[in-house]
């Protein structure tokens, strides 16, 4: 049985399998029912590893072991496998979430915070910078920045970016507002995102950024995060941002924003 490497690679990414697991699973799918020895020959996986691989696939819900001798394994419908994998992922995620939640009052977290607090004393502000790859990673970092805000949040984004940020950052924005943080958001407003802008106006002052393209955030005039690429022309996985913790640059950028802010049209004066 010959399976293209590209197809095996896609299976590994989609189902989080290693190469041997993908080979044995596809081999069993092609037979329906088979023994470990037969699957080893078909899949070109060493026989010494085949039983371990089959046991792993069984635990993950990909196959079922048939009762009787010789021991055989039964393939399940791919649709059923998808459902099982989804359920298993949800259970695993919930378990990990509970484990992490318990850390809030655990001495382990106190020890980690002590290590960080002591270590950060010796770090120059200019060293607190980095690049972020992938839009989800970028939003995770922005969420952290917003949660740490004490005074101001300044956000400039695109038409589509406004929609995404409501979905990704709404809880962080609402909590920041309750803390008394001033939030200002500027973006090109159209019929496609006007409702989103109205929703955001509950916790932020939103203005129309017509004829300007930009993607950046300033937190407390101390931290800056700016995106390097046009979100219309880049895949989310390849989006890139730069994060800087520098008061001088953050204040300079915010001063330039202040000059432009008064020129932006307030949301309540827009007719769409």
Residue 243: CATH number of its domain: 3.30.870.10
Identify the bridge partners of residue 104 per DSSP, sorted by sequence position. none
DSSP 17: -
Does residue 17 share a domain with residue 144? no
pLDDT at 110: 76
Q: Give the separation between CA 126 and CA 118, rounded to whole angstroms.
A: 18
Asked whether residue 27 is domain-assigned, the answer is: yes
Does residue 143 share a domain with residue 28? no
pLDDT at 176: 95
Does residue 20 share a domain with residue 72? yes
pLDDT at 117: 67
CATH number of 71's domain: 1.10.10.10
Asked whether residue 111 is domain-assigned, the answer is: no
Asked whether residue 241 is domain-assigned, the answer is: yes
Taking Cα atoms as reference points, which of 126, 145, 134, 130 lies closest to residue 229?
A: 134
pLDDT at 3: 77
Asked whether residue 118 is domain-assigned, the answer is: no
Does residue 144 share a domain with residue 38? no
Does residue 240 share a domain with residue 142? yes
User: Running along the chain, 272 residues long, what does each successive block of 10 average in pLDDT?
Assistant: 82 91 93 92 91 92 86 91 88 87 78 68 60 92 94 95 91 95 94 91 91 90 94 92 90 91 83 70
Q: Cβ contacts of residue 29 below 8 Å, gap of 6+?
A: 75, 78
Q: How many CB atoms lie within 10 A of CB 246?
A: 16
Does residue 263 share a domain with residue 164? yes
Does residue 45 share a domain with residue 134? no
**CA separation, residue 180 to residues 82, 153, 171 (Å):** 45, 11, 15
Does residue 136 share a domain with residue 42? no
Asked whether residue 215 is domain-assigned, the answer is: yes
The answer to whether the CB of 146 falls within 8 A of the CB of 248 is: no
Q: Give the separation between CA 214 and CA 156, rounded to whole angstroms.
A: 6
DSSP reduced 3-state for 217:
strand
Range of the domain at 16: 5-83
DSSP 112: H
Does residue 194 share a domain with residue 134? yes
pLDDT at 219: 96
Asked whether residue 106 is domain-assigned, the answer is: no
Q: How many CB atoms lie within 10 A of CB 241?
A: 23
Q: Give the separation between CA 26 and CA 75, rounded to whole angstroms.
A: 9
Does residue 161 share a domain with residue 27? no
pLDDT at 121: 57
Asked whether residue 108 is domain-assigned, the answer is: no
Does residue 141 share a domain with residue 71? no
Of 27, 56, 83, which closes a domain? 83
Asked whether residue 136 is domain-assigned, the answer is: yes
Q: Give the separation between CA 218 and CA 268, rounded to whole angstroms.
A: 24
Of 51, 83, 115, which closes a domain? 83
Does residue 218 share a domain with residue 162? yes
Of 30, 56, 83, which closes a domain? 83
Domains in the chain: how many in total?
2
Q: Give the separation between CA 152 and CA 237, rounded to whole angstroms.
A: 29
Provide the b/e sequence for 69-80 (b: ≥16 CB within 10 Å). Answer: eeebbebbeeee
Taking Cα atoms as reference points, which of 156, 219, 165, 216 lies closest to residue 188?
A: 156
Q: How many CB atoms lie within 10 A of CB 113?
A: 10
Q: In what order do the strands lie in the sheet with 182-187?
A: 129-133, 240-245, 223-227, 216-219, 152-156, 182-187, 205-208, 265-266
């Amino acid at each position: 049985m010959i399976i293209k490497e590209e197809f095996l690679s896609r299976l590994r990414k989609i189902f989080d399998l290693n190469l041997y697991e993908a080979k044995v699973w596809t081999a069993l799918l092609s037979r329906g029912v088979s023994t470990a020895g037969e699957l080893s020959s078909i899949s070109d996986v060493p026989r010494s590893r085949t039983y371990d691989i089959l046991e792993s696939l069984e635990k993950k819900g990909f196959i079922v072991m048939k009762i009787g001798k010789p021991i055989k394994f039964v393939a399940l419908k791919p649709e059923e496998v998808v459902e099982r994998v989804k359920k298993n992922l949800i259970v695993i995620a919930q378990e990990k979430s509970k484990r992490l939640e318990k850390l809030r009052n655990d001495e382990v977290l106190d020890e980690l915070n002590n290590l960080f607090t002591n270590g950060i004393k010796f770090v120059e502000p200019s060293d607190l910078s980095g690049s972020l790859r992938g839009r989800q990673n970028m939003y995770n970092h922005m969420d952290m920045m917003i949660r740490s805000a004490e005074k101001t949040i300044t956000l400039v984004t695109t038409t589509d970016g406004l929609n995404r940020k409501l979905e990704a950052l709404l809880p962080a924005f609402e909590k920041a507002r309750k803390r008394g943080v001033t939030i200002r958001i500027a973006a090109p407003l159209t019929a496609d995102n006007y409702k989103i802008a109205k929703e955001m106006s509950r916790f932020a002052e939103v203005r129309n950024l017509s004829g300007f393209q930009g993607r950046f955030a300033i937190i407390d005039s101390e931290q800056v995060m700016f995106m390097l690429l046009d979100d219309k022309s880049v895949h989310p996985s390849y989006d890139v941002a730069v994060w800087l913790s520098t008061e001088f640059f953050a204040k300079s950028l915010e001063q330039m924003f202040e000059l432009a802010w008064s020129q932006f049209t307030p949301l309540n004066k827009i007719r769409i």
